[in-house]
Amino acid sequence: MSAVRSVLFWALFGGLAGTWTGGLVSRAFLPWFNTPGNGIMSQCACEPLAISTVAHTLQIQLGGLFTGALVFSVLAIVLGAGRKRKVEPSAPATPPAAAA
The answer to whether the beta carbons of residues 83 and 3 sit under 8 Å apart is yes
User: Does a structural domain hold residue 57?
Assistant: no
Q: How far apart are CA 70 and CA 27, in angstroms?
A: 23
Q: Where are the alpha helices (DSSP H) in the chain?
A: 2-33, 46-78
- pTM > 0.85: yes or no: no
Kindly report, residue by residue over 42-71, the tens digit of the pLDDT: 667 666 776 777 788 888 888 888 888 888
Q: What is the pLDDT of residue 60?
A: 85
Mean pLDDT of all residues in the chain?
A: 76
User: Does a structural domain hold residue 20?
Assistant: yes
User: Does a structural domain hold residue 22?
Assistant: yes
Instruction: Determine the structural domain holding residue 28 and report its residue range.
Output: 1-35+73-84
User: Does a structural domain hold residue 27?
Assistant: yes
User: Does a structural domain hold residue 30?
Assistant: yes
User: Does a structural domain hold residue 3?
Assistant: yes
**Residue 9 vs residues 6, 40, 49, 85: alpha-carbon distances, Å:** 5, 48, 37, 19
Tally the domains of the chain: 1
Q: What is the pLDDT of residue 86?
A: 66
Q: What is the mean pLDDT of residues 81-88?
A: 64
The answer to whether the beta carbons of residues 81 and 7 sit under 8 Å apart is yes
pLDDT band at 85 (very low <50, low <70, confident <90, very high): low
Nearest to 10 by CA among 76, 67, 64, 63: 76
Q: What is the pLDDT of residue 20?
A: 81
User: Does a structural domain hold residue 28?
Assistant: yes
